[in-house]
Amino acid sequence: MSDSRAVPDSSSSASAFVRVSGLVVDEVSATSLRGHADLGADHLTDWGTVHGGVYASIVESAGGAGAGYAVADRGQVAVGVHNGTDFLRASAGGRVEVTAAALFQGRSQQLWDVVITQSETGKVLARGQLRLQNVDRPGDTGVADATDPAAG
């Protein structure tokens, strides 16, 4: 990454939710993202397979990080408005590779494709499309924040 735009990953600066999902962002540009996650016992259902919600969360986080990176220099963030994740294969965990690619990037919306692949086998476990709305970064709009006690 060659500039200072913030990108969520599993470091201490990421939200607790992103850290728990296990997503680590390895590389990001305005049109693509590459990352990985090590999925273990905390990500499994009672039946011993990775919970589909983990995959949906990774799709949301990876697509959102890439889309947010694409609009950060405009003073915007990208917020998910639709996440359609398909679960293709069951897995008992292990390392997964995450790739995200922009399919469409407009003034007000973006569409990203995210693929989650089992590192060991190369098989696709889940695939999702994430539609996002580009909005002004909170605090940059000039509108008082209702949660700010100083806003009155």
Structure confidence by residue, pLDDT tens digits, 88-117: 999 999 999 999 999 999 999 999 999 999
Between CA 97 and CA 129 the distance in angstroms is: 16
Q: Are 151 and 145 in contact (CB under 8 A)?
A: yes
Q: Are 58 and 81 in contact (CB under 8 A)?
A: no
Between CA 106 and CA 34 the distance in angstroms is: 22
The tokens for 3 are 């500039």
Residue 4, pLDDT above cutoff 90: no
Q: What pLDDT does 82 receive?
A: 98
Q: What pLDDT does 139 receive?
A: 83
Between CA 45 and CA 50 the distance in angstroms is: 6
Helix (H) or strand (E) holding 33: strand 32-39
Between CA 106 and CA 131 the distance in angstroms is: 11
98 to 41, 56, 58, 88, 149: CA distances (angstroms):
19, 12, 8, 15, 40
Long-range contacts of 23-26 (CB under 8 A, 24+ apart): 23/57, 23/58, 23/61, 23/62, 23/98, 25/62, 25/65
Q: What pLDDT does 110 receive?
A: 98
Structure confidence by residue, pLDDT tens digits, 109-134: 999 999 999 999 999 999 999 999 99
Structure confidence by residue, pLDDT tens digits, 18-36: 889 999 999 999 999 999 9
